[in-house]
Amino acid sequence: MVDHGYHIHPVGRGHAKALSEVHKGCFFKGWSHLEFESFFERAGVFAGLAYDKKQRPVGFVLCWIIEDQCDLLSMGVLEENRRDGVGQMLLDYALANATSLGAKYMMLEVNINNTAAHTLYESQGFEKFSVRKGYYTNADGTLADAVCMRKAL
Ligand SMILES: CC(C)(COP(=O)(O)OP(=O)(O)OC[C@H]1O[C@@H](n2cnc3c(N)ncnc32)[C@H](O)[C@@H]1OP(=O)(O)O)[C@@H](O)C(=O)NCCC(=O)NCCS
C-alpha cells in the first residue's frame, strides 16, 4: 500500500473536542465533546486519533476494557479519507493496545447494513455471535439490527 503519511496517536480527555468533530463527520448522530469527556471518566477507556500528514485528525477509535474484554465502542474515518488504510490502522492500534492492557477478547456491534465495517472486521477475524434486533435508528428513522462480533486476542 502507498504510504500516505497517516499516523495514530493515543489520546485522552484533552482531545474530546477533536474526537467529537471527527465522530460528527462519520455518523449522522454525532457525539458531543461532553459525551467524549464523560467516557474518559470510566476506568479502562482508551482512544486513538488518526492524523494525516498535515496533522489534521481524520479518524478515531474509542474502546473500553472491562475485565478481560475490550468493547470497541466506536470507530470512524472521514469520508474523504476512506479506503486509504486508516480504518485498518485504527483497528490494529485498538487490537494491540487492548492486548497489551491484558484484554483476552474484543467485541463490537455493527449495523447489519454496514458492509464496509463488516468486511473490515471479518477480514481481521471477528466472528458474529448474536444479533440485537432494532438496535440502531437509521437517519430516516427506521430501525436496523446490530450484529455482535467477537475476536479472541
Ligand atoms: C468502516 C470504516 C471505519 C473503514 O475505514 P477505511 O479507512 O475506509 O478502511 P480501510 O481503507 O482501512 O479498509 C480496510 C479494509 O476494510 C474493508 N472495507 C473498507 N471499506 C469498504 C467498503 N466500502 N466496502 C467493502 N469493504 C470495505 C476492505 O476489506 C478494506 O481492505 P482493502 O482496501 O484492502 O479492500 C469507514 O468506512 C467508516 O468510517 N465508516 C463510517 C463509520 C462506521 O461505519 N464505523 C464503524 C461502525 S462499527
Residues 6+ apart with CB under 8 A from 84: 4, 6, 77
Looking at every residue in the chain, the average pLDDT score rounds to 95
HSE, CB side, 13 Å, CA atoms: give it for residue 116.
12
Q: Could you tell me which of 33, 31, 112 has the C-alpha nearest to residue 75?
A: 31
Rounded distance from Cα 83 to ligand 1 centre (Å): 6
122 Cβ neighbours under 8 A, 6+ residues apart: 149
Domains and CATH numbers, the chain: 7-108 (3.40.630.30)
Whole-number Å distance, alpha carbon 87 to ligand 1 midpoint, is: 6
Residue 2 has pLDDT above 80, yes or no: no
Provide residues with CB under 6 Å of ligand 1. 26, 75-77, 82-88, 110, 114-117, 119-120, 123
Instruction: List pLDDT tens digits, range 97-126.
Output: 999 999 999 999 999 999 999 999 999 999
Q: Is residue 121 within 8 Å of 90, Cβ to Cβ?
A: no
pLDDT digits (tens, 9 = 90+) for 33-74: 999 999 999 999 999 999 999 999 999 999 999 999 999 999
